Amino acid sequence: QVQLVESGGTLVQAGGSLRLSCAASGRTFSSLGMGWFRQAPGKEREFVAVSKSGGTTSYAVSLKGRFTISRDNAKNTVYLQMNSLKPEDTAVYYCSASEKYGLLSRSYDYAYWGQGTQVTVSS
């Protein structure tokens, strides 16, 4: 089992920045692929970014350049730095963990999920 706890979500003005954190426990963190997804009201959950166990990262095409995922294996924590935020970035952001390999861009690749943290971007 992997337990995930997100933090850092809040209300921010458009153009601002925010960093989300996700603390993991229960497995060897360095062996996990760690992803961020988000879900806006009335929309499906969508992939944001992943930090794979080998150190590589990938992003949703629409978000690359504004969002940066990073991880600290010593702290068992993954981060999502979000810059130049827009109102359309408003969503609940979920941290997820996967023991699989591959693209890890689909929600079904992930067996473990956090409870989510709300990010609201005001215009």
Triad 65, 68, 16: Cα angle to 5°: 75
Token pair for 100: 């699989």
Instruction: Give the residue-averaged pLDDT of 52-74.
Output: 94
Can you give the length of the chain in residues? 123
Q: What is the pLDDT at residue 64?
A: 82
Encode pLDDT of 79-118 as tens digits. Answer: 999 999 999 999 999 999 999 988 899 999 999 999 999 9
pLDDT of residue 55: 84
89's tokens: 């970035």
Closest CA to 69 of 61, 81, 55, 86: 81
Based on the number of CB atoms within 10 Å of its own CB, is 25 exposed (0-12), middle (13-18) or buried (19 or more)? exposed
Quick one: pLDDT band at residue 29, thresholds 50, 70, 90?
A: very high
Q: Cβ(110)–Cβ(96) under 8 Å?
A: yes
Contact yes or no for 69/77 (Cβ under 8 A): no
Tokens linked to 98: 């996967």
By C-alpha distance, which of 60, 61, 74, 63 is closest to 29? 74
* Model confidence at 54: pLDDT above 90: no
CA angle 77, 45, 87 (to 5 degrees): 85
Hey, what are 35's tokens?
A: 């992803």
